[in-house]
Chains A and B, each alone.
Chain A
Amino acid sequence: MRVLESTGNSFIRQLSYVGGLTLQFWSSLRASTRVLPIVGKRGRWQTAMRQIISIGVQGLPMIGILSACVGFIVAIQTGAELRKYGALQLVISIVAVGFTRELGPLVTAIVVSGRSGSAFSAEIGTMVATNEIDALRTMAIDPVEFVLAPKYLAAIIAVPCLTIMSDFFGIMAGSGFMYATTDMGLRMYLNYVADAILLRDVFFGLLKSIAFGTIIAQVGCMEGLQVHGGPEAVGRSTTSAVVKSTFLVILADLLFTAAFYVLGAV
């Protein structure tokens, strides 16, 4: 009976968390129109731009290196098997399709979750702990519009851009492998890549990356807003933000992949 009660309580907690996340997503989506340049409030777009630079530009080196590593690993692992069947050139298709559809968005999301999701949580958590969020409320300034919306907008702009870069670096790593094993030139490699991938793959990959950016920003902000206590609570919220957003990103990836499969898009 106690197990049942505990499972039920846990389920209700998770459900309430997802509910809170959905409400927060809706509020920040509505507020993000007031962050846009020209039509939005003054100063908001500059805040969003600073976030875009922080997530995107500063995250690029790590994403580039990791994507190249993953691209190379995929090429080596698949190449070792495919060589036995004399189908080494299929490595190109696997790397290209794998990255545009799956690995590019996923590697990007995991890196952004670790770098920026945790930063969102720590920043907002500290603001809660030092009453800055309360101060905003007492000044009749909506914290969702002032703090969350610029971060959310920045995430859904920066994450797809980083995903494109991740695709690029991953695919180029495959080119390095092919050159090392078969002396294949870059031009020929890119021709094979162009044959292998469809615009649809790139589009679905970017669609996923927008969803991943949404998850990372919303979870990071929510964990920050739920901080109660001092620095220790901020630390816990940071860890929780990374764990939960990575978990939800992989879950969402599965749902997207299943949905695309059912719709015949993969």
Chain B
Amino acid sequence: MSGTRLRIGCSKLVSGIFLAAPLALASPALSQEQPQTPASEVNTQPTPQNAGQKQSTDISTLIKDDNQWPMAAKNYANTRFSQLNQITKDNVGQLQMAWSFSLGTPRGQEAAPLVVNGTLYIVGPYAGVHPNEVFALDIADGELKWSYSPKPDPAAEGVACCDVVTRGLAYDNGKIFLNTLDGFSVAIDANTGKELWHTKLGDINKGETITMAPIVVKGKVLVGNSGGEMGVRGWLTAVDEETGKIAWRAYSTGPDSEVLIGEDYHGPYDWLNGKDLGVKSWPPDKWKIGGGTVWGWISYDPDLNLIYYGTSNPGAWNHEQRPGDNLFGSTIFARNPDTGMAKWAYQPDPHDLWDHDEINESVLVDLTIDNQVRKVLIHPDRDGFMYVIDRTTGKVISADAYDYVNSIKSIDLNTGRPVLNDAMTPSLGKTVRDVCPAAPGAKDWQPSAWSPKTKLLYVPHQHLCMDFKTSDVGYIEGTPYVGADVDMYAGPGGYRGEFMAWDPVQRKKVWSIKEKFPVWSGALVTAGNVAFYGTMDRWFKAVDADSGKELWKFRVGSGIIGQPITFAGADGTQYVAVMSGVGGWSGAVAVGEIDPRVRNGALGFTGAMQDLPASTVGGATLAVFALPKNQKKAASAD
């Protein structure tokens, strides 16, 4: 008996069916990709005269039009900032609900709505009668234009680690792109709702699911897999938007030929250079079940022609089963979107001890640091540190703790490696107590927003610590591969979440709002200097982007873990929209068949959220807000 029998389709590296980008870029000039660009150069102020006139279907044009919200993160830089300024900090207190829409599902609603040319598109979680159903609604009055239900495999629920969420859709060229939990990528005609193609990308029998919002870059739909808790081998796949054919697939682990590391690659530190590190940094063959899945955010710099994304934790959670750095799990990649070839890779947490995925957003901004303009990405990491990284090279410029951290002492800027608190390193069967941050980190997938006006990053995050006890786990294909009993609880001070503004140049927190529960919603910030976020105990809040002062709040039907957006109608009305519908990993105890009295449930998140069911139950509903008519007139006259 060899002792290890694996059935993994790792050898099926799809040969490159490379198609030239079909889209001519409308303009080489950047706008939202460089959030510091003054508004006057963007010329997207919403007025009745120009609103609705632009009917471009090209994503690279749409992201420059603030009447639209054409991708989950608003733009390629992932700023979630809008130049719309009808709603200001002076009048936001007058916001009223304009219309709402129920998705008819009781599970976690993390997806962002998209708004393109007068239509709002939203997708529900993998639950209810029609899992991952897509809806198209008229933004003016919420009229339902069409809906589309993919053909589901209900068994997918059994291999989804952390509720059955999706983080949203993508749009380009008249098409809506959907990822289903059971591993398909689908293109739908944005006008009619008719299916154009569907492609199977993942296999639930290997534990693969898809939860991320795809993005479209130069005619390719970029899709990654989920399943870092299932011994899945992570990948990012580019699918041709016209045909549904796979153009390239970049694995996160394995030989360079499959990780797509070639001559263009240059690691930012010595230890990130070498042949086949995705094999050599693992015990024999463990890279085949090593995680590094791609379920978070992708940003894109058209100037450098690089996409940026992070990979999940290496598996299993029991680190003693995988000695080595475990590349390229918990890694930030920069890749060429045409070929998939890597430019650089940086692993903030080598040999991850705590389930610290690096899938969190990388927000692309240009900052003046020490009198030099630097092209950076800001990455609020699971490990509790705010990384400012040179996005041309992958070198860390600064890394500072933004929440209470006791598992890492500091980040060594010479090596790029963390200085660990060795006293906390788990060993088999021993309970380590009071580890901060907990497994979901100081911040998980919930995306930040960046305002070029305030030059602050608005960060929704959690404040949790945990007990952590590892156990030996065997790999059984299609079942979890974790090997840890976890129990999370509130961090120091007893609160569990925070919404804060961070100055990445001064490297400090400017203001913060403490919340009872983790802030598991995305953030939005506008030129009206208003920042929006939602809470798990059902408040949708608007705060002063300068001071954090609460300006307005509205009690919605269920806890908010969705992503707020803003857009404008044909009459110039500015809307703000958010999905309520509690769930996700943090909210699973309120919507899943999970016992709040057994703390180790939901990979330990039950412990921290056991009282959530006393504040909310599930139920996905879109809420759309606007100013009353007389307020809008006053704002327009300004």
Q: Do A and B interact?
A: no
* Interface set of A (CB-CB < 8 Å, partner B): none
